[in-house]
Each structure stands twice: as structure tokens, then as C-alpha cells.
């Protein structure tokens, strides 16, 4: 539809919905669900009330927890130092940590916040390991 064919009140409402913050979009979704029994479409398509729930889906997709992955391909001469760091981070025994390091790639720590993940990654890299955050 061209802008000229859209009624001013519909255009105004659409502009207001598009400018909602995530929290406001979630509140709108909850309000429409409780007051009018309007639920978001399962496919995320369609018109009508689909705009607010689609915007509300974004915060769920925003990643707040991260995993630090020990990657394979580190220098073999640095293996002992890497094992020590993995033992400390993961709370493993010596044999478990050795098997863990040799079995890379593996998650050293999961479901941690970004600053903690960065710190763990740096500790691993300082020991000579290759690490990524996912």
C-alpha cells in the first residue's frame, strides 16, 4: 500500500508501534492477549497484531549468556599451562583436565555473562590456548 492510501490514524498508530521499546512492545503484547485474546501468529508473518509480538521476540534472541569454547590447535608446548587454567576454571582433576584439553574443541564454561566470558577467554589465551566466545 502506498502512503497516500493509508488513513492518517492508521499511519500514526503504525508509527507509534514501530517506535516502541522492547519493554513497551512486550507490555502491548501482554495487554492485547489479556484484554482482547489476541495472540501472536506462530509463523511471525501476517499483518494486524503481528508487529508488536515480532518486536517483542527480539529480546529473547538477545544473548545474555555465553559459552567459552576451548578450541583445538594450540601449541603442544603450552599444553601443561592450558591444563592448569582449565582445572582452575572448570574445577576438574588433573586427569579430567588433561582429557578435556586433548578433546578440544569443548565448552570450558557455559551460561556466563559477557564480562566473565571475556575474563575466562583471556586466561585461556594467556596460557597459550585458542578460545572463542559463543
Model-level pTM? 0.53
Domain boundary among 44, 61, 78: 61
Which pLDDT does position 9 carry in this prediction?
Answer: 87
Asked if residue 82 and residue 99 are part of one domain, the reply reads yes
| Residue span of the structural domain in which 125 resides | 66-133
Is residue 78 domain-shared with residue 97, that is, in the same domain? yes
Question: Using one digit for the tens of pLDDT, what is the confidence trace for 26-38?
Answer: 788 888 888 888 8
User: Are 51 and 26 part of one and the same domain?
Assistant: yes
* Confidence check: pLDDT of 1 > 50: no
Nearest 5°: CA angle at 40, between 37 and 44?
Answer: 165
pLDDT digits 0-9 by tens, 58-80:
555 567 888 899 998 888 899 99
Does one domain contain both 55 and 72? no
End-of-domain residue from the set 61, 78, 102: 61
Q: Are residues 129 and 71 in the same domain?
A: yes
Domain count, the chain: 2
57 and 75 part of one domain: no
> Could you read off the pLDDT of 86-111 as tens digits, one per residue?
999 888 889 988 998 998 898 888 88
**Per-residue pLDDT band at 12 (split at 50, 70, 90):** confident
Amino acid at each position: 500500500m502506498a502512503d497516500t492510501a493509508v488513513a492518517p490514524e492508521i499511519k500514526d498508530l503504525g508509527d507509534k508501534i514501530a517506535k516502541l521499546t522492547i519493554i513497551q512492545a512486550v507490555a502491548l503484547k501482554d495487554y492485547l492477549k489479556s484484554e482482547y485474546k489476541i495472540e501472536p501468529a506462530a509463523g511471525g508473518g501476517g499483518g494486524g497484531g503481528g508487529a508488536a509480538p515480532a518486536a517483542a521476540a527480539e529480546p529473547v534472541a538477545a544473548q545474555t549468556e555465553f559459552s567459552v569454547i576451548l578450541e583445538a590447535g594450540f601449541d603442544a608446548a603450552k599444553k601443561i599451562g592450558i591444563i592448569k587454567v582449565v582445572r582452575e576454571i572448570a574445577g576438574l582433576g588433573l586427569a579430567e583436565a588433561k582429557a578435556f584439553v586433548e578433546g578440544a574443541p569443548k565448552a570450558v564454561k557455559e551460561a556466563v555473562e559477557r564480562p566473565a566470558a571475556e575474563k575466562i577467554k583471556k586466561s585461556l589465551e594467556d596460557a597459550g590456548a585458542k578460545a572463542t566466545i559463543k
